[in-house]
Every structure is written in C-alpha cells, then in structure tokens.
Amino acid sequence: MKPTTQNILNDIFIIEPELKQHEPEIIAIVEKLLSEKPDTKFDIEFAKNLRKKIIEKQKTEHLPWYKKILLPGAALIFSGTAIIIALVVLLPDGLTKIIPEKNNNGFTNNIQKVGQNGFGKIAISSESQDTANYSSLALAEETSSRTALGMGGETTIAPVVDAANGKIMSSISMPAYTTDYLYEYIGGEIILPEGNLPVYKKEKNSEVSGQLSQIISGFNFGLISADKFIDSKIDSFVLSENREFGYTVYFNLSENMVNINSNWQKWPQIGKECQDTACWEKYNLTEKDVPSDEELVSIADEFVKKYSLDMSFYNPGIVNQNQRLYYAQEKNDRAQNVYVPENFSVIYPLKVADTEVFETSGDPVGLSVNINIRHKKVSDVGNIVPSSYLSSEYELEKDTTKLIARAEDGGFYPAWHTENPEKTITLKLGDPKMGLVKYYQYNQDNNENYELYIPALIFPVTNYGEENIYQKFITVPLVKEILAENERQDNGGGIRPLTTPGTAPMIKTEAVRQ
C-alpha cells in the first residue's frame, strides 16, 4: 500500500469504523484513483506571464492622476494655457501624491529577463579612452561619499596668495603619508552560489515623455511652435509648491527619476541679513541641535508616508552615519567651532529581487531623505527610482582565493601603498555578505551611461572605528569579466585612507608661484 493511501485511510477508519470491514475494497478504490490522477500540465511560463500581466494592471491602476492622463487613449483637450498650468502644480494643499504611488499589492520589482550576457561587455577597459568618464563618474561618487571619512584621493592644495599684491604669503604644509594600510581577511570559508547570477540594468523609459510631447505638439506658444520640432519629447519638467516650506519636484523622464528639493524661495533664508562672521556664527548649530537617529528616521518615515512614496522595494530607513562620523572627527580634532551640518540623511536601502544594493564603498544605495535639523523637516529626497529592470546572467568568479586576494588588495579600487611607512595599520576583513553593487556601463556608441547592479561580495572591516580606521567595507565584484578587468587595471594608486591632520607630522613644501 502506498504511504499516501495509508494517510488517507487512517482518518477514515476513525470516523467510519464500519469501513474497516471493507478495507481491501477501500484501498483498491483509493489506489485506483491515485493511479488515474491526470497530469495537469502546469506551465511555469504561463504563471510567470500571468504574474507580469497582473503587475502591469496594478501599475496602471495605481498611477497618480498626472500619469493616468498621459496614458495612451486618454481623451484630452487642452488649451495652450491649460498645458502650462498642467505642468505647474495646482494642488491646493501641497504635493500629496508623488510617483510612484504606494504599491499595495506587494509584487517584487518588475524585472524582465534577457539572455545570458545580454548587456554585452560590461567591464570598463582601461584601454578605452572613455575610461576616464567612468572613472570620474564612479570616483566622483565615491569621493563625495568618502570625503567625510577622509577617503579622498587628491591632495592638491592651492598656495595662499595675498589678494592685494599677488605674493605668496606662506609655505604650504602638506601631510605626509607615513602610515600604510593593509587589508587582511580573517573570516571563514566563503561559500558561493552555484551557477551564474543575474546582473540588473535599470531601465530608462522615455515612453511617458513621448506621450506628453504628443499632447503639446500641436500648440503654438507664441514665440515658438511645438509642432515644428520633429519627433520631439519632453525630457524633464519641474513642479513647484507655492507655500511655506514648499518643495520643488524635478521629473527626469528620460532617466526615469524623480528628485524632490526644498523650494528655496519658500524656505527661511538663514542669515540673509548677515554682513560679518559674528552674525553668521549666531546661527551655527550645536551638538544639542542634532536629533537622535530614531527622531531622524521618524521624520523621514512621516514624509514618505504623507507623500505616498512607494517603499515596496526598500528596507527600513537607517541614518547615514558618515555625517556623524565627520562631526565626531571634527570634534576630536578641534576644541572649538565644530561645524554641525545643517542636514542629516536617512537612507532607505534599495532591494532588487530581494537583494540589497550597495555603492562600491559598501554604503547602501537607496532612497535618500535629507532632513534639515534646524527646522526638523525633510529638505530633499533623492533617488526616487522606478522598479523596472532588465536582468541577464553573467559568469561568476568561483575561485574564492582570487576573491579574497582582491579584497586584500582593496577590492574594487586597488589599495595604494606608501614606501617606507613609519606605521602600518591592518584593516581586518570579516565574513562577506552577498549583495548587488552599483556599477556603470558606458556605451561608446551613444556616449550614454547605464546603471547596472552587479553581484558582489561585501566584506565588513571588523576593526572599523579603531585608530583612524574609517573605512567600513571592501567590495569585490563577482562577475568574472569585471574582476578580471579590475586586476588588469593599474589605476594609479586607488583610494587611500586619510590620516587626520593631528596625527601625521607635517612637512613643509614651497608653494609654486603661479
């Protein structure tokens, strides 16, 4: 007797003991039914396609009013004036809905799979003349995010010149790099997933911009006639709130991105009457003005809830600690006049296919909400992105020895080592986690950059915070092509942890007269 049959019968004979007399027949009936069970031919592709169809339906139904009116087939009659008004906020009580609207149906990101290596070559070669574009684009981001940690690359210092006569006023002291930084992996065995993993490419969608353009293409605006421009499209437009503490919303339709900034004309202009330092200083913020992490997250949460931002693809908000670190570093180094930043950021880490996305620095990529701590209000929101991606599998590096070696060499950006250091500090790298790292693919044909999210290992620096160690992570790409290119490149020294001025001896150099 099959186990299934036994399971079925166990219950029956308890309820209807008399059936026990007919056990052989009952067994035969159940076994006969089991043997005649049809193959239902369930098709997984059907299920996927239906899922996609429902996602599309859900997206259409939850579009805010101004996107619904832009859908194909919408019957619209506008006068020229009405179009202008449509592009300027009319909402009486401020912006109450901002795309994308809250996704109430809990579907994951809209990801469309393409064939293996479907994005072509994604590693940026150092032989390409456009490497500088990528490098500057990526490094610019890294530099800006690392500056507070003292991870900046360049150390050029302009000479101090007397404005009255143009003479060099003093010799310039430059910090010497007498400390070398090494990386050492102290974690356990790294287990990698089998097979390959997808690389995700953020979709740019100009469909809405084309539709909006169609609406105005027949209009004559007096100085200019829209219909004279062939196949034009609206790439961006701006809405501004005309109220106290109002916002300006910038819609970048070609990049499919929305940013919110404070409408500076409607926010208090701090210190506008000041003519001297003493006046400015009275507006300086102090340590007691800095809210707790809980309060900052609460202010951010309230904002995203009020404006119905779609948070389906983000993890809960966390305070960007880089600013606190910078502030603490300043406090340690200078007894007086510590600068407290006006804004602190809460970041909601982005998830793509339930995997968190990071910068190459290891900091989370996501919705960035800046809070003005003077007014305890959200001042800016950046990286409001849609959830449409293409995915394509790329071959992974499976040799963990190579991956660890890359991590110990600085990860994405090879470490720079000083000769004859007076001191060596070792950053210890712990067990890595898997994630996606933001990476740019440059298309030489159309000079466009595409944002990719590539599988990577993120190694935590376990002795972060000790003795001038302000680097939190080392990231290593898992995509074989990118790792190979990283190893081949010599990018002139990589990123170097900066020692604070107080800890390194200064050497004098003569500034060059210009």
Partner 1 sequence: MESKNFTAENSRSRDAENFGALYDQYVKKIYNFIYYKTFHKETAEDLTAQTFLKAFEHLSSRRADSGKFSSWLYTIARHTVIDYYRTRKNQTNIDDIWDISDNSELSADLDNQDTLNKVKKYLSTIPSEQREIIILRVWEGLSYTEIGEILGKSENACKTTFCRALKQLKTQIPLTLLLLFLTSLKI
By CB under 8 A, the residues from 464 to 483 that bind partner 1 are none
Each residue of 24-35: b (16+ CB within 10 Å) or e? eebbeebeeeee
Residue 57 makes contact with partner 1 by CB under 8 A: yes
Of the residues 3, 21, 36, 282, which one makes contact with partner 1 according to CB under 8 A:
36
CA neighbor of 101 nearest in space, from 311, 354, 388: 311
- CB of residue 199 to partner 1, shortest distance in Å: 23
For 48-73, b where at least 16 C-beta lie within 10 A, e where not — what string?
A: eeeeeeebeeebeebbeebbebbeee
Should residue 112 be labelled a site residue for partner 1 when binding is judged by CB under 8 A?
no
Residue 31 or 235 having the CB closest to partner 1: 31
**C-alpha–C-alpha distance, residues 464 and 425, integer Å:** 11
- Decide if 365 contacts 438 (C-beta within 8 A): yes
Tell me: does residue 47 bind partner 1 (CB under 8 A).
yes
Q: Which is nearer to partner 1, 50 or 274 (CB)?
A: 50
Q: Which is nearer to partner 1, 24 or 166 (CB)?
A: 24
Site for partner 1 contains 68 (CB under 8 A): no
Say what angle helices 3-15 and 23-35 make with each other, to 10 degrees.
Answer: 140
**Residue of 58, 206, 261, 321 interacting with partner 1 (CB under 8 A):** 58
Residue 141 beta carbon to partner 1: minimum distance, rounded to whole angstroms: 32
Binding partner 1 (rule: CB under 8 A), the pick from 6, 60, 96, 105 is: 105
Residues 6+ apart with CB under 8 A from 407: 183, 185, 429, 432, 457, 459, 474, 476
Site stretch for partner 1 (CB under 8 A), options 104-112, 146-154, 199-207, 329-337: 104-112
Residue 8's H or E segment, with its range, is helix 3-15
301 binds partner 1 (CB under 8 A): no
42 makes contact with partner 1 (CB under 8 A): yes
Q: Which of residues 382-401 bind partner 1 (CB under 8 A)?
A: none
In the bound state with partner 1, the residue whose beta carbon lies nearer, of 2 and 121, is 2
Size of the site for partner 1 (CB under 8 A): 41
Residue by residue, DSSP assigns 151-167 as -------PPPB-TTT--
The window from 45-53, 243-251, 313-321, 338-346 that contacts partner 1 (CB under 8 A) reads 45-53
Among 3, 21, 39, 286, binds partner 1 (CB under 8 A): 39
Residue 34 interacting with partner 1 (CB under 8 A):
yes
Name the residue type at position 413: Y
Please report which residue ranges of 72-146 form alpha helices under DSSP H.
Answer: 80-87, 131-146
Q: Does 24 bind partner 1 (CB under 8 A)?
A: yes
- Is the CB of 32 or the CB of 282 nearer to partner 1? 32
Cβ proximity to partner 1, 15 vs 230, nearer residue: 15
241, 95 contact by CB (below 8 A):
yes
Nearer Cβ to partner 1, position 23 or 281? Answer: 23
Is 22 one of the binding residues for partner 1 (CB under 8 A)? yes
| Per-residue CA distances from 313 to 141, 180, 382, 385 (Å) | 23, 40, 15, 10
In 147-276, which residue ranges form alpha helices assigned H by DSSP?
A: 207-216
Q: CA-to-CA distance for 510 and 170, rounded, in angstroms?
A: 8
Rounded CA-CA distance 239/87 in Å is 7
Between residues 22 and 488, which has the closer beta carbon with respect to partner 1? 22
Would you count residue 15 as binding partner 1 (CB under 8 A)?
A: yes
Smallest gap, in angstroms, from Cβ of residue 52 to partner 1? 11
41 contact partners, CB below 8 Å, separation of at least 6: none
* Binding of residue 37 to partner 1 (CB under 8 A): yes
Return d(Cα 302, Cα 379) in angstroms, integer.
Answer: 13
Q: Which of residues 275-294 bind partner 1 (CB under 8 A)?
A: none
Closest CA relative to residue 351, chosen from 387, 298, 401: 387
Residue 25 binds partner 1 (CB under 8 A): yes
Is 15 or 75 the residue whose CB approaches partner 1 more closely?
15
8 binds partner 1 (CB under 8 A): yes
Near partner 1 by CB under 8 A, which window of 9-17, 275-283, 374-382, 477-485?
9-17
CA 320 from centroid of its chain's CA atoms: 13
Is the separation of the CB atoms in 205 and 428 below 8 Å?
no
**Residue 3 sits in the site that holds partner 1 (CB under 8 A):** no
Binding-site ranges for partner 1 (CB under 8 A): 1, 4, 8, 11-12, 15-16, 19, 22, 24-34, 36-43, 46-47, 50-51, 53-54, 57-58, 104-108
